[in-house]
Structure 1
Amino acid sequence: MSNEIINIIADRPFNEAVQDKYFERVEAQLTEVFARPRLRSFAKSGGVLAGRAAETIDASVVGPSLVVFEERLSEDDKQDALDSQAFAEAVVNKLPAETSQEQRYMAYNEALSAIGWVTESYTYKKYDSKKLTLTMNDALLQVLETVISAGSGNVLSLVAAGFDKLKGDKEALKIVDAGSKESSVVSFKAVPCIVAPGGGMAMVMGGLDVFSKDYDGDFLFFTFKTEGVHLFQAAGIRKFNKRAFDRKRQQVYNYIDQFGDGLFKKIAG
C-alpha cells in the first residue's frame, strides 16, 4: 500500500495525574462560558434519556458517529458509552476549522483516553477499497472487519442493522450531514460497543474520511468511485475503565452541557 499513514498506539496503565492534567484544560474551557440550565440528552441525572431505563438504547447518532450496542451490555454501560462519545465529539467539534483530520482523530483518541477508554490498538492510514464503487456505510463495515476478531461477525450485523435504522431517520441524518456541509472532507465513524473478552465493556471504532464532495445521493449512503478519490481509514479498539470515568463524570456532564448541543439523536424504530 503506497503513501500510507499509520499510527499504532497502546495506552499505558491509567494514571490519575495525567487525567487531572488533561481536565485542567477542560475546566479552563468551562470557565470561559456562563453556566446554563441543564438540558442534557445524555446523563441519567436529567434530560431526555432520564427515567427511561426500561427502553433499550439500541442505536444513536452522536455527531458524525453511529453508536450501537450489544444487547448484553447493561443500561448503565450504554449510558456511559454515549456520554463518553458525546464528550469526545464535543472536544473535536471545538477545534479550529483548519485542523487536519489526523489531528481531529488524535484529539478524539486523547479525549476518550482521558475519561477511561484504554486504547488497545489504533491505526490511521490510506485505505484501499476492495471494490471500484461502494457506499460509505459498506466501506465502514470493511474497515471494522480489519479490527474485529473472526468470531465477531455479530458485531458487523449489529452495525449494519444500525445503518438500516439510520437511513430511515431524517433528523439523525441531519446531524450527520451538518458536519460535512462546509468541508471538502466527508467523514463518519461506526462505533459498536460490546462486552469485552473477560468482562467489562469494549468500544470498536471504524472511521472513514473521503476527500471529495463529488458524490451522488444522501450523505453516508452515497455511492462513490474509489479510483482517484483520497480515502483514509481510522480503526481502533478500546476497553472501558469505569473507575477512571467516575473520577471525572461530573466534568464530562458539564462539558457536554456547554458544548454538546445538536450532537445527539437516538435513532427511532
Structure 2
Amino acid sequence: MLEEIVRSGNVEKYNANLILSNGDRVNQEVTKVGLFSAKSDGKYFDYSNDMKALVELSTQPSTSLGSSDDTFVIDPTRGTLFELLNNQPTLMNRIQQGGVVGYIIIFLGVIGLLFAFYKMVVLNLVFTKMKKQIKSLDTPNDNNPLGKVINIFNKYKNHDLNDLEVKMAETILKETNRVKKGQSFVKLLSAVTPLLGLLGTVTGMIATFQAITLFGTGDPKLMAGGISTALITTVLGLVAAIPLLFSYTYISSKSGRIVSILEEQGMGMLAKSL
C-alpha cells in the first residue's frame, strides 16, 4: 500500500508496448501520471487486464480538457471513467442502433426537408412577383398567378358577366392548385416519420422481451441496452417530424396568403366590371 501511495504521486516516462485503436502493436514512450492516467503521442491509453498491455481509448477525452503534451486528464477511479467514456456511443453509433427503420426515417426526413425548402423558395418568389404585380395592375405579366388572372379578365371583360365569372373562377382555381401542389406531401411526411419511429420502438421492445425470455432479468444492462436501442427510432422520428411540421405550417401559411390575394383581386376586378 505504501508503494502504491508513492507511485500514485510520481510522473514517469518509459517505453511500453501499446495497442492502437486500429489493432497495431507499437513500442513507444509513455508518460504516466501516478496510477490515474497514461498518455503517448497526444492520445490516452488504459491498461487492459485481458491483453496485458496499454490499449488506446477508442473515444478520447475532449481536447479542451487536455490537448497539450504537458496537460493531462486524470481519472481518479483508475480507469472506470475512461471505460465509461470508451463505451459512450457516438452519434453514428446511435444512428446505427436505429437499424433499417432508422435509416428510412432519416431518408424521408432529408427528402421532406429538401422539398420543403424548395417549396418555400418557390412560394416566396411567387409572392414577391405578385406584390410587384399589384403595384402595376395595368401591365399584367404571366410570370405570376395574379398576372394570369388579370390577362383572363382583360380577355373576357367584354363578354357576358356569367362567362367572365366562370373564366375567372377557373383560372383562380387552376393557380390555387398549382400554388398548393406538393403541400400535402410535406404534411404526410411530418405524420409518417413519428409513426415509423413508434414502429421501430415496438419492434425493438419485442426483441428486448424475447432476450429477457431467453436470458432472464438477471442482467440489467441487457434490458437497459435493448430499451435504449429501441427508443432511438422514436427520437429519430421526432427529430424528423418537428422541422417538417414547422415547414408545412410555413408553406401552408404562405400559400394561403397567395390564394387570398388572388381571390381578393379577382373579386375586385369583377366588381369593377359591374
Normalised by the shorter chain, which TM-score bucket? under 0.3
TM-score (norm 1): 0.20
Identify the structure with bigger relative contact order (alpha carbons < 8 Å, sequence gap 6+). 1
Of Structure 1 and Structure 2, the greater helix share is in: 2
User: Whose Rg is larger?
Assistant: 2
